[in-house]
Amino acid sequence: MVIVMGPDATPEDTDNLVELAASVGGEAYVTRGAGRTIIGLVGDVERFANLDLRAQPGVSDVRRTSAPYRLVSQENAVSRSVVRVGGVPLGGDTTTVIAGPCAVETPEQTLAAARMAQEAGASLLRGGAYKPRTSPYSFQGLGEAGLKILSDVRDETGLPIVTEVVDAADVELVASHADMLQIGARNMQNFALLHAAGEAGRPVLLKRGMTATIEEWLMAAEHIAQRGNLDIVLCERGIRTFENATRNTLDISAVPVAQKLSHLPVIVDPSHSGGQRDLVLPLSRAAIAAGADGVIVDVHPAPETALCDGPQALVDADLAELASAVRALSGLLGRPLAAAPAPEAAVV
Amino acid sequence: MVIVMGPDATPEDTDNLVELAASVGGEAYVTRGAGRTIIGLVGDVERFANLDLRAQPGVSDVRRTSAPYRLVSQENAVSRSVVRVGGVPLGGDTTTVIAGPCAVETPEQTLAAARMAQEAGASLLRGGAYKPRTSPYSFQGLGEAGLKILSDVRDETGLPIVTEVVDAADVELVASHADMLQIGARNMQNFALLHAAGEAGRPVLLKRGMTATIEEWLMAAEHIAQRGNLDIVLCERGIRTFENATRNTLDISAVPVAQKLSHLPVIVDPSHSGGQRDLVLPLSRAAIAAGADGVIVDVHPAPETALCDGPQALVDADLAELASAVRALSGLLGRPLAAAPAPEAAVV
Amino acid sequence: MVIVMGPDATPEDTDNLVELAASVGGEAYVTRGAGRTIIGLVGDVERFANLDLRAQPGVSDVRRTSAPYRLVSQENAVSRSVVRVGGVPLGGDTTTVIAGPCAVETPEQTLAAARMAQEAGASLLRGGAYKPRTSPYSFQGLGEAGLKILSDVRDETGLPIVTEVVDAADVELVASHADMLQIGARNMQNFALLHAAGEAGRPVLLKRGMTATIEEWLMAAEHIAQRGNLDIVLCERGIRTFENATRNTLDISAVPVAQKLSHLPVIVDPSHSGGQRDLVLPLSRAAIAAGADGVIVDVHPAPETALCDGPQALVDADLAELASAVRALSGLLGRPLAAAPAPEAAVV
Amino acid sequence: MVIVMGPDATPEDTDNLVELAASVGGEAYVTRGAGRTIIGLVGDVERFANLDLRAQPGVSDVRRTSAPYRLVSQENAVSRSVVRVGGVPLGGDTTTVIAGPCAVETPEQTLAAARMAQEAGASLLRGGAYKPRTSPYSFQGLGEAGLKILSDVRDETGLPIVTEVVDAADVELVASHADMLQIGARNMQNFALLHAAGEAGRPVLLKRGMTATIEEWLMAAEHIAQRGNLDIVLCERGIRTFENATRNTLDISAVPVAQKLSHLPVIVDPSHSGGQRDLVLPLSRAAIAAGADGVIVDVHPAPETALCDGPQALVDADLAELASAVRALSGLLGRPLAAAPAPEAAVV
């Protein structure tokens, strides 16, 4: 059972409902996103029914849900969610491009990549300071120093920052620098990390695990939402199959399926799914055409020396083509490209 | 090693080359498609090198190949193939829609579905007279009676016919009625069937096996080509993965990957991959945007009573939307929709 | 609905029941295996119920089934099936080893491999005369000449022959030489071939498709049974997964699961699933321990020059170890190794 | 490059080698297991070669490795590892059974399950106090209270404790109660957790991720080893495939493959892979027969009311059969069942 609060509901209205739920032995999970507050109720449905919840101040709607992920379920949504990252919308009537280097290596490389991102039509900058790597002997990221570089590049370019966090213990630090926290595929069921991200006060980009079903992905989002944060964007990044011609298999159907099951925006990562530069453009086009709310792509000023995933990073020659393709397609579908904020506006 | 013949090469030129190859102990496989003839050579490369093949009459080019599928490899292609089915092009500068019922049930149902196909923008009619079914107790198709229905509907509508053949013993019969033979996913490695199809004198639509790698799919096409027929169209129809929210997982990346590895046209079946009506439109858009040469979709006048795969068949309300989406996208990408021939032109 | 006939039922009893079923508009599929006859009924259950089938002559039992594969379902079985191949039992109280070369190459190689098979504890000889190969340029088998070699080696050694058939058109020829027909993984849903095998009067070894679910595998067996032949042995040979350290992933759980769902014997192919010689012994032990009714292994006198799958073939040094391991384990589990018939007994 | 230290090497010998490596600009990772110390070197191989490492005090051997997981690679092992958990050996000449409830629920349920574990032949007790659950609304485990229950049950029964840790922040607490830390499948690439476990001074049971390749699994073990802890046991628990008749697909081949690539012991979890009670016995037999160093199974005194995974837990009737089967098979293979320590001996 879910209570959808109206736009004018006050914190007192919400507290009142939590107390009401408790008064009949239930639990209430309050979660907030840009422009919406939802309260999930766990407990005896019949006792809730006696409370006349619909008549309480601030309540817009009360719904029964059949999905196990009640807070992120489409069933409970008045409309699809729009998540705002440093002023840039994800979801709704626009299409958003996020771009940047796989890993932050130096200030120069990061700034150059940010300029490339802008050329590619991006309004958000991605870049990893903490890298989860299969080998303990590979480059693990610059850590806090990388976060500072990202922060400086945001000041310079105005692009809000999306960056990965890999350990619950780092969430507070990363959230103090980033505009959006990314949870990577390997950590999709690292529940301690999901809970910390749910309490960090930043929007979260949740990548689908390489072998996660769509239902498990939405349940992972529910773990974040249940801790109070409904500003979640889902990212399809390829699943693991028997096919080895591509790094992973982009599950393009996951875009319409997840959008039907959940009100959360869904974007696509064509770089990590294909793992090859020349697949990024056709897969980006496919993503937008399938209805994705955006794409997140790797760019690098010198992919041949990149410390991470160079073969899939777009180079200068590709940027204008990507921007033009995404612009044309998103226009055709009636969801024009989101604009980047002016430099000063993006500072958090 | 492959010999690409020029447009003016004569049958004698080809015979001459086959004899030359034999004279040094090699084998030559001659394969012909619309507007092109290729000869694959198997044997001692050094002895072939002594033959001065490039100087022989009719030869346009001689190429070494690294791919195990030499005749269908992109490496040997002057340009991407265009396959003509009853006058309708597949591949090249156009985008082609194939539509029709999963199974031929009655003359009325087939004609109604053909009219729906036209409304959806289709220039080719699909429909199964022989159905490979998991259960021996399910409807197995009307067989020859179904072929006659298809033939009549072609006369009535002008739409050339694409229909499945499931047994090598039926190839001649099916080829006498159909404009294009379809090899289904379950039979992708039924080599006897591939060989018979390679000798039947009809273009072939080769569906990817549910668990076939792209390389195995191209090798299956090579089995057809080696028997003399280069008019092959590849069809991605979803692979089997752990994800159960969709019937199969559409491997959208297979489109650009197969087009890079082979000169054959590649189309997508959004109906069988998703298995759900409401996925057909987004997956069709994704397919065209990814660069597919066409789509093949299920339509049915009364899906709730269909003898096969009703839940994925488009209904009347969907047709105009599909036609409009495909038209807009294919136009944007510079590859307008192929037109259907006039009724009389399609008669074989 | 299924009728289980008693051991003393006559052909007339069976005919009578088929007519009875037809008299109420139903269809009856009669299938026979070693020591058992089952009749599957398709039609209106209530009308069948009025027939008092249980009282008809020759009827031992009448059962309702919930499985879609009614004839091969465990629900309808009085006991697990024993299939006899040239006098050698598969299933029941014994454990059976089948061994031989992947492909028949020469009389000498085949005879040498048969001697190796005997040393490995085998009572049946496998060997391919028709090879379904991914590449049209690979060795496709000796065809009829290979069948004659197998026949000669059976006369010499007494080992009954198991050999693959890949085309429905070849079934009669292959059945005239072989004691058991093998349907390979690629052809598991080649329904024309399954039907031909169901009518050929020989026991059938049905390999699981690389990507087939257990239910689809049993449905493929049902296609054979429905054509009258219940002497079917299932063979698990590895499925396709993301793991590339082995050629395929042996689904060891499929052994107890298939045995629970069906009365047919289930054996394991440790050679093709692992694809590596040093995995054959541990996987054979695992198969027997899991309860498999036998194993089928590749042996070759000179694997380094084998025309097919040399790297997985056991060599002389391995044979005694395999025989000893299988003997010890099958003894421990109370299902001793089946003995080979004397040379003359095996001649068909 | 790896240095294998001799049994009499002193800490000073190790320190000396770390300094030597640093003196030529390299890095040295020291890792210790029961009875062995290995030093992994990262840096310029030629400069290391000049150091005459073999002549240094305490050095037993110096080896070059080709595997990316150098510390856990079989190439560097004088012999297979034996890991000791509260006095109970895992690996080597014995076969070890670990058993217990999926989740610790109450003191009574845990003690009853421990008694069942003993009856099943177990010498180690498993039980979860922290449960990673797909749904945030499912039982998440008793946390610290659960650890105390486990500790009490160890005092009562003498069985050392294996329990899961899901968050790096909890490692110290869990290690203060448990004899062995378990890293679950979902956390196999939670690198922060792996690193914390590598520094905790307790043996680690590392489950394979549901979609992890064997190489990735060994790389995850390398993350633990690199932090100083070589007492790692690998646990195969099923991978995710298209087959839905079982919860996961037990990759039985992973046992011999991982044992060939790594010196670490490998055990099998037949409960979680199959997900069904009646598969536990055949899969346990298969695991031992394939050469596994042990099995870990779920038992529960009242599975129908279990808070987690009841359907796969063994019940009273199954215990003697499992014990007897494992005893017979492990005896046949020359690796008898490990004995549990006396109650007082197990106290840590």
B touches which chains (3+ CB pairs under 8 A)? A, C, D
Q: Which residue has the higher pLDDT, A164 or B50?
A: A164
Surface-to-core class of residue B242, CB atoms within 10 Å of its CB (0-12 exposed, 13-18 middle, 19+ buried): buried
Surface-to-core class of residue A65, CB atoms within 10 Å of its CB (0-12 exposed, 13-18 middle, 19+ buried): middle
* Consecutive H or E run containing D23: helix D11-23
- Distance (Å, rounded) from C-alpha C219 to C-alpha B252? 30
Which amino acid appears at position C174 of this protein?
V
pLDDT in tens, chain B (348 residues): 899 999 899 999 999 999 999 999 999 999 998 878 999 998 888 889 888 899 999 999 999 888 899 999 988 776 889 999 999 999 999 999 999 999 999 999 999 999 999 999 999 999 999 998 888 888 889 999 999 999 999 999 999 999 999 999 999 999 999 999 999 999 999 999 999 999 999 999 999 999 899 999 999 999 999 999 999 999 999 999 999 999 999 999 999 999 999 999 999 999 999 999 999 999 999 999 999 999 999 999 999 888 888 889 999 889 999 999 999 999 999 999 998 887 654 444
Q: Output the pLDDT for position C346.
A: 44
Residue carrying structure tokens 């080895």: A244
* Other Cβ atoms closer than 10 A to D78: 14
Question: In chain C, which residues have their Cβ closer than 8 Å to the Cβ of D74?
Answer: none
A328 CB near a chain B CB, below 8 Å?
A: yes
- Distance (Å, rounded) from C-alpha B108 to C-alpha B156? 12
Q: Which residues contact D282 (CB under 8 A, 6 or more apart)?
A: C255, C256, C289, C290, C291
3-state secondary structure of D52: coil
Alpha helices in A209-276 (DSSP H): 214-226, 254-261, 270-274
Question: In chain D, which residues have their Cβ closer than 8 Å to the Cβ of B209?
Answer: none
Contact in structure between D124 and D162 (CB atoms under 8 Å): yes
Which amino acid appears at position C344 of this protein?
E
Question: How does the average pLDDT of chain D come out, rounded?
Answer: 93
Could you please report the per-residue DSSP string of A29-63? Answer: EEEEETTEEEEEEES-HHHHHTT-GGGSTTEEEEE
Confidence grade of residue A44 (pLDDT, cut at 50, 70, 90): confident
DSSP state of B35: T
C137 CB near a chain A CB, below 8 Å?
A: no
B242 CB near a chain D CB, below 8 Å?
A: yes
Question: In chain B, which residues have their Cβ closer than 8 Å to the Cβ of A283?
Answer: 252-253, 256, 290
Q: Strand pairing partners for B126?
A: B162
Q: Output the pLDDT for position B343.
A: 63
CB-based contact B191 C222, cutoff 8 Å: no
b/e per residue B270-300 (b: at least 16 CB within 10 A): bbbbbbbbebbbbbbbbbbbbbbbbbbbbbb
Tokens of D58: 């305490």
Q: Which of A237, A253, A329 to probe the B interface (max B CBs under 10 A)? A: A253
Q: From the list D211, D240, D242, which residue is nearest B240 (CB)? A: D242
Which amino acid appears at position C61 of this protein?
D
- In tens, the pLDDT along A323-338 reads 999 999 999 999 999 9
Q: From the list D243, D252, D285, which residue is nearest C214 (CB)? A: D243
Q: Strand pairing partners for B73?
A: B262
Tokens of D146: 């659960």
* Other Cβ atoms closer than 10 A to D46: 8
* D46: alpha, beta or left? (left if phi > 0; alpha if psi -120 to 50): alpha
Q: How far is CA D290 from the centre of its chain?
A: 18
Which residue of B lies nearest to C169 if distances are taken between CA atoms?
A: B169
How far, in Å, are A129, A150, A287, B106 from residue A310 at the CA level?
Answer: 16, 19, 22, 56
CB-based contact C222 B136, cutoff 8 Å: yes
Which amino acid appears at position B86 of this protein?
G
CB-based contact B169 C186, cutoff 8 Å: no
- Distance (Å, rounded) from C-alpha C330 to C-alpha C324? 10
* A143: alpha, beta or left? (left if phi > 0; alpha if psi -120 to 50): left
3-state secondary structure of D253: coil
Q: Which residues contact C140 (CB under 8 A, 6 or more apart)?
A: C130, C131, C133
Provide mean pLDDT across the span A126-147.
Answer: 92
Q: What are phi and psi of A297, to 5 degrees?
A: -125, 150
CB-based contact C290 D288, cutoff 8 Å: no
Contact in structure between A268 and A239 (CB atoms under 8 Å): no
Confidence grade of residue A348 (pLDDT, cut at 50, 70, 90): very low
Residues of chain B with CATH 3.20.20.70: 83-346
Provide, for chain A, the percentages of residues in helix, strand and coil under a 3-state DSSP scheme, each rounded to the nearest 5.
40, 20, 40
Helices A214-226 and A191-198: crossing angle in degrees, nearest 10, is: 50
3-state secondary structure of B339: coil
Shortest CA gap A246–chain C (Å): 12
B241 CB near a chain D CB, below 8 Å?
A: yes
3-state secondary structure of B312: helix
Residues of chain D with CATH 3.30.70.1140: 2-64
CB-based contact D244 B244, cutoff 8 Å: yes
CB-based contact A278 B290, cutoff 8 Å: no
Contact in structure between D32 and D9 (CB atoms under 8 Å): no
CB-based contact C241 D254, cutoff 8 Å: no
Shortest CA gap B273–chain D (Å): 15
Surface-to-core class of residue A138, CB atoms within 10 Å of its CB (0-12 exposed, 13-18 middle, 19+ buried): middle
Question: In chain D, which residues have their Cβ closer than 8 Å to the Cβ of B251?
Answer: none
Question: In chain D, which residues have their Cβ closer than 8 Å to the Cβ of C328?
Answer: 332
Question: In chain B, which residues have their Cβ closer than 8 Å to the Cβ of C192?
Answer: 166-169
Alpha helices in A135-253 (DSSP H): 144-157, 171-177, 191-198, 214-226
Question: How does the average pLDDT of chain C come out, rounded?
Answer: 93
User: Which residues of chain C fall below pLDDT 70?
Assistant: 78, 343-348
Contact in structure between A330 and A287 (CB atoms under 8 Å): no
B278 CB near a chain A CB, below 8 Å?
A: yes
Q: Strand pairing partners for A235?
A: A207, A267
How far, in Å, are A43, C95, C276, D108 from residue C238 at the CA level?
Answer: 46, 20, 13, 43
CB-based contact C240 A240, cutoff 8 Å: no
How far, in Å, are D48, D151, D161, D295, D316 from residue D306 at the CA level?
Answer: 56, 21, 20, 21, 15
Q: From the list C189, C192, C222, which residue is nearest B167 (CB)? A: C192
Q: Are strands B36-42 and B27-33 parallel, antiparallel or unpaired?
A: antiparallel
D1 CB near a chain C CB, below 8 Å?
A: no
Q: Which of A167, A195, A199, A210 to probe the D interface (max D CBs under 10 A)? A: A167
Which residue of C lies nearest to B167 if distances are taken between CA atoms?
A: C192
pLDDT along chain D (348 residues), means of 10: 91 94 92 88 88 92 88 84 96 96 96 96 96 88 97 97 96 97 96 96 97 96 95 97 95 98 97 94 97 97 89 90 94 92 56
- Residue B288 half-sphere exposure toward CB, CA atoms < 13 A: 33
Helices B107-119 and B144-157: crossing angle in degrees, nearest 10, is: 40
Shortest CA gap C79–chain A (Å): 38
Q: Output the pLDDT for position C308.
A: 85
Q: Output the pLDDT for position A343.
A: 63
Question: In chain A, which residues have their Cβ closer than 8 Å to the Cβ of B289?
Answer: 282, 285-286, 288-290, 329
* Consecutive H or E run containing D323: helix D316-332
- In tens, the pLDDT along A230-255 reads 999 999 999 999 999 999 999 999 99
- Distance (Å, rounded) from C-alpha A149 to C-alpha A60? 44
Q: Output the pLDDT for position C140.
A: 87
For chain B, state the CA radius of gyration: 20
Q: Strand pairing partners for B286?
A: none
Which amino acid appears at position B131 of this protein?
K
Q: What are phi and psi of A29, to 5 degrees?
A: -110, 115
Contact in structure between C49 and C2 (CB atoms under 8 Å): no
Shortest CA gap D239–chain B (Å): 10
* Other Cβ atoms closer than 10 A to A44: 13
Q: Which long-range contacts link D48-52 to residues 24+ away (Cβ below 8 Å)?
A: D48/D1, D48/D21, D48/D24, D50/D24, D51/D20, D51/D21, D51/D24
Which residue of C lies nearest to A247 if distances are taken between CA atoms?
A: C242
Architecture of domain D2-64: 2-Layer Sandwich (3.30)
Q: Output the pLDDT for position C348.
A: 44
- Distance (Å, rounded) from C-alpha D219 to C-alpha C47? 64
- Distance (Å, rounded) from C-alpha B118 to C-alpha D138? 52
- Distance (Å, rounded) from C-alpha D173 to C-alpha D169? 8
C touches which chains (3+ CB pairs under 8 A)? A, B, D
Helices A107-119 and A144-157: crossing angle in degrees, nearest 10, is: 40
- In tens, the pLDDT along D10-65 reads 999 999 999 999 999 999 999 998 878 999 998 888 889 888 899 999 999 999 88
Enter the CATH code of domain A83-346: 3.20.20.70
Shortest CA gap D46–chain C (Å): 32
For chain A, state the CA radius of gyration: 20
Contact in structure between D233 and D226 (CB atoms under 8 Å): no
Q: Output the pLDDT for position B348.
A: 44
- Distance (Å, rounded) from C-alpha C268 to C-alpha C251? 9
For chain D, give the longest Cα–Cα distance. Answer: 65
A274 CB near a chain B CB, below 8 Å?
A: yes
Which residue of C lies nearest to D290 if distances are taken between CA atoms?
A: C282
b/e per residue B150-180 (b: at least 16 CB within 10 A): bbebbeebbbbbbbbbbbbbbbebbbebbbb
